[in-house]
Amino acid sequence: MVAVVDSPPEHMVLRNISWEAFERILDDVGETHHRVTYQDGDLEFMTISFEHEHFGEWMGKLLSFFSFVMKVRLCSGGSTTLKLALAKVGLEPDRCYWIKHEKSMRSKKKWDALADPPPDLAIEIDISSSWLDRLEIYAALKVPEVWRFDGEVLKVLILGANGKYKQRTKSVALPTLPMDGFVRFVKKLGSADELSLLEEFTEWVRTDVATKKAGGERKNGRR
């Protein structure tokens, strides 16, 4: 029997936790405001702050509106627990999406690391940094792209053939999204009500991003 603390501290790491115990803890903890990360016997609990959740929700809304305007098909995985027993790793992204592999996950009820593709994109709100190497865990899970946002800077990290992430200026999962413009709207959170900001963001996508995409397609001879 694994004993789970009802109200763990804001940030703590338990050592020498077996994979079986980790899975039982996940079942016992359920839907809480604690982010759980597991890496080769180390189990971390982190309390999720309002700022953390606020940015995560906001980035999710922006991507939803972007996908709607640009007709990009997404399968949203939210904070689905991603775990791989063979590598003894597991975590909960702040947001994750299947884009290239949207059709593969469209009708699924759960994600299976051995049968299903990893998310094409995971988002990390890095307001309070993990004590474990979450990028190493994402690499073990073979997640090809991770965005890390610390409240000011958003880094686009692409997984290389060497199993390491390298920062890029453009997204591979969403190549039509200008990252500088996207970050500008992410950081507008709190400057006005969300409805007004979403209206402004949608107008920017329609008049700038979509127009440039259409112009590029015409230039390349597409119809």
> What pLDDT digit, counting tens, does each position of 47-88 carry?
888 999 999 999 999 999 999 999 999 999 999 999 999 999
Distance CA 20, CA 24 (A): 6
Q: Taking a C-beta distance cutoff of 8 angstroms, is the pair 149, 59 a contact?
A: yes
Token digits for 129? 């940094």
Q: Read off the pTM.
A: 0.86
What confidence tier does 211 reach under pLDDT thresholds 50, 70, 90? confident
What would the pLDDT profile of 156-205 be if each residue is shown by its tens digit? 999 999 999 999 999 999 999 999 999 999 999 999 999 999 999 999 99
- Class of residue 152 by CB neighbours under 10 A (exposed 0-12, middle 13-18, buried 19+): exposed
Q: Which residues contact 156 (CB under 8 A, 6 or more apart)?
A: 145, 147, 167, 168, 169, 170, 171, 179
The answer as to CATH 3.40.50 being correct for domain 50-80+93-216 is no
Q: Taking a C-beta distance cutoff of 8 angstroms, is the pair 130, 104 a contact?
A: no
Residue 180 is predicted with a pLDDT of: 97
Task: Look at residue 168 and give its three-state secondary structure.
Answer: strand
